[in-house]
Amino acid sequence: MHTYGIDIWGEDNFIIENGLAKLNYASKPALVDIVRDIREQDFKGPLLLRFPHLTRLQIEKLYTLYNNAINEYDYKGKFNAVFPLKVNQLPNFLLPLIKSGEEFGYGLEAGSKAELFLAMTYNKIGAPITINGFKDKEMIHLAFIAKKMGHNITVIIEGLNELKMILEVEKETSLPTPNVGIRVRLFNSGGGAWAKSGGIDSKFGLSSTEILEAYELLKSNNLLHYLTMIHFHIGSAMTNIKPLKKALKESGHIYAELKNMGATNLKAINIGGGLAVEYSQYHRTTQYHLQEFANDVIFTLKNIAKQKGVEEPNIFTESGRFISANSTVLVTPVLELFSAEYELSNLRLKEENPPLIEELNELYKDMNGKTALEYMHDSMDHLESLLKLFDLGYIDLQDRSNAEILAQLIIKKAISLLEIADYEELKRIDNKIQEKYLLNFSIFQSLPDFWGINQEFPIMPITHLDKKPTRSASLWDITCDSDGEIEFNAKKPLYLHDVNLEKEEYYLAFFNVGAYQDTLGMRHNLFSHPTEVNVVFENNELKLEKIIESQKIIDILEDIDYDTKEIKKILKSSLDKSTYVILKKYLNENSYLKTSWSH
Ligand code: PLP
């Protein structure tokens, strides 16, 4: 059985049973049944299935990992965690997360004013809020207001100017002062694709000299007791644990030094994010065990505290990818297979055909298991020659069409005849035999990290999993852009099934899309966010909650500041009434395709 690497990335949250991809939870529903359920309610196009129980599971895992380590090393500090809002701010994801996190005291991290407003509104009083990123005085004022609301909030400064603004707001208002954290600019940076957030030349944090200046500023203004946290973040999705250990040592010593200088209320080290998610379906990329990660944090900080004679710090983490990635699955209907039009029924051979076409026809008829590979290569050479002959004007359009159909039929027949060993080899070497699958989605909108940084996501059909996938696949999205393609990669080959979409439906799922993709996505070609739904369980029974349909075309146009009244007025005035009624209906639908019954 071809398992699409589910053992590597699936974490037992998804299973394959009877040819179907299923959720390994409660009644173990097949993903395709959930998809059909939604589509029957007339929500078509791509779908984002969100599974809040998986977010809850990840929160539980995170707390368990650290509390295990704390117990093992008899650590005196407490573990705290916040969810970085930038990783996923959408309400369908976030509101269930906050509910699940309540019993753990799980908080939120905000990196902008808009995110801070979300945190101030929805974070449970008592659960921590941290603020990172660059701030202006208004943002700092907001933090003071959050404190007045009763929030346990820490403003982590990225530079001395931010500290000066805190001092100003403290003087100018009668609001209570929030806790202050210092992001330290570490010498050691992380590894992995997102390592630029740390290191001596990183965009963020205070140098040692600036840390000392910050200390002096706080002290001379009698505000040193507000300094509670040291923060660093050396990069998202760390594949290797070594850089973390180095960063822990460096920040641990900074913490201890400041404490020994007199920062008595300094009680916490915030280690940022970094816990990796396995995105590969070919081989494991994460080189550490999650428990090892937590153990290293506790062990290293314990040793430094002992060495420097200070109390063991509380620990904060801001891992968001780990919490959110697996909660969301993108399901895209396959609209078309490139070779679908190359059917035998479309072949129109003439009484007399060019010799190479006659030969192609012979190859097609005579091919058997032994000759398949050879005939397929011959057919490709013949096709190439025939296309040249067309360019030179020696064969006509009908001949060219016959040549293309025969070449595709030969490929299909060869694949069905070849021994598996030959076929695997063949798929690897021969780009020409790829099938192109047209998917009803936009890569720019739904997989921006693939578009921007070539990030892999596990891809798997949600049906047909008991059948051998016979086609090496390239995936096309429906944007008018050649970047909207996931090309076949011989080193990481994706094999899919040869399906007849006239007779059967075929959906591809992209897993681990719950982190960053939702709001990083772009509306290229004005394709908006897919329809999304929360899949929840009550007494083992599946419920579809909060279906949010993909945006209507008219709303997308309004979002980019068109006067939609004017658009309607112009269209209405140039059409008769009944045609305009149809147009109005289309304007109120989303822009994904509806060209076939399986759209
Ligand atoms: N905290 C900060 C300051 C970050 O910059 C980031 C992401 O880059 C995170 C937390 C989230 O980290 P991760 O994506 O590893 O969960």
- Residue-wise pLDDT for 463-505, tens only, equals 999 998 888 899 999 998 888 999 998 888 899 999 989 899 9
Residue 550 has what DSSP assignment?
P
User: Sorting pLDDT into bands at 50, 70 and 90, what band is 426?
Assistant: low
Tens of pLDDT, residue by residue over 86-114, are 999 999 999 999 999 999 999 999 999 99
pLDDT of residue 430: 62
The rounded distance, in Å, linking the Cα atoms of 266 and 258 is: 8
- Nearest CA residue ID for atom 2, ligand 1: 272
pLDDT of residue 366: 93
Report the residue among 135, 155, 185, 197 best suited for mutation to probe ligand 1: largest number of ligand atoms under 8 A from its CB: 197
Average pLDDT over residues 227-256: 92
pLDDT of residue 573: 94
Average pLDDT over residues 357-381: 91
Query: What single-letter amino acid sits at 152?
Result: N
The answer to whether the complex's ipTM is over 0.95 is yes
- Taking the CA of residue 133 as reference, the ligand 1 atom at the shortest distance is 3
Which has the higher per-residue pLDDT, 460 or 235?
460
- Per mean pLDDT, which range of 191-200, 334-343, 534-543 is the poorest? 191-200
3 state DSSP class of 547: strand
The rounded distance, in Å, linking the Cα atoms of 189 and 420 is: 46
8 Å CB contact between 262 and 34: no
pLDDT of residue 471: 86
Q: How large a percentage of the chain has pLDDT more than 70?
A: 94
Residue in 422, 320, 317 with CA at minimum distance from that of residue 81 = 317
Average pLDDT over residues 517-521: 93
Average pLDDT over residues 295-318: 96
Q: What is the distance in A from the centroid of ligand 1 to the CA of 317?
A: 9
Which has the higher per-residue pLDDT, 564 or 377?
564
Domain 52-319 in this protein, CATH class: alpha beta
- Nearest CA residue ID for atom 8, ligand 1: 236
Helices (H), 234-371: 242-261, 290-308, 321-324, 355-366
Of 364-373, 465-474, 548-557, which one has max mean pLDDT?
548-557
pLDDT of residue 429: 54
Residue 30 has what DSSP assignment?
B
Q: Where are the domains of the chain?
A: 52-319, 340-430, 554-587
Instruction: State the Cα torsion 447-452-455-456 to the nearest 10°.
Output: 50
Tens of pLDDT, residue by residue over 46-66, are 999 999 999 999 999 999 999
The answer to whether residue 596 scores a pLDDT higher than 80 is no
Q: What is the distance in A from the centroid of ligand 1 to the CA of 136?
A: 21
- Per mean pLDDT, which range of 89-98, 131-140, 196-205 is the poorest? 196-205
The answer to whether residue 533 scores a pLDDT higher than 60 is yes
Q: What is the distance in A from the centroid of ligand 1 to the CA of 539?
A: 35
Average pLDDT over residues 423-439: 73
- Enumerate residues lining ligand 1, CB below 6 A: 84, 87, 132, 194, 197, 233, 236-237, 272-274, 318-322
Length of the chain equals 599
Could you tell me which residues are beta bridge partners of residue 534?
A: 50, 545
User: Sorting pLDDT into bands at 50, 70 and 90, what band is 598?
Assistant: very low
The mean pLDDT value of the chain amounts to 92
The answer to whether residue 419 scores a pLDDT higher than 90 is no
Take residue 264 and report the two structure tokens written for it. 């008595």
- Judged on CB neighbours under 10 Å (0-12, 13-18, 19+), 203 is exposed
The rounded distance, in Å, linking the Cα atoms of 130 and 126 is: 12
Distance of CA 571 to the CA centre of its chain: 39
**Beta strands at 20-23 and 507-510: parallel, antiparallel or unpaired:** unpaired
Q: What is the distance in A from the centroid of ligand 1 to the CA of 156?
A: 14
Question: Which CATH fold would you assign to the domain 340-430?
Answer: Methane Monooxygenase Hydroxylase; Chain G, domain 1 (1.20.58)
The rounded distance, in Å, linking the Cα atoms of 328 and 325 is: 7
Which residues 6+ apart lie within 8 Å of 411 measured at CB?
Answer: 339, 376, 379, 433
pLDDT of residue 455: 94
Q: What is the distance in A from the centroid of ligand 1 to the CA of 275?
A: 9
pLDDT of residue 421: 55
pLDDT of residue 431: 67
User: Sorting pLDDT into bands at 50, 70 and 90, what band is 564?
Assistant: very high
- Nearest CA residue ID for atom 7, ligand 1: 236
Report the residue among 236, 275, 297 best suited for mutation to probe ligand 1: largest number of ligand atoms under 8 A from its CB: 236
- Per mean pLDDT, which range of 241-250, 337-346, 560-569 is the poorest? 337-346
The answer to whether residue 336 scores a pLDDT higher than 50 is yes
pLDDT of residue 595: 62
User: Sorting pLDDT into bands at 50, 70 and 90, what band is 580?
Assistant: very high
472 is catalytic: no
pLDDT of residue 344: 87
Out of 283, 480, 565, 574, the active site residue is 480
pLDDT of residue 425: 59
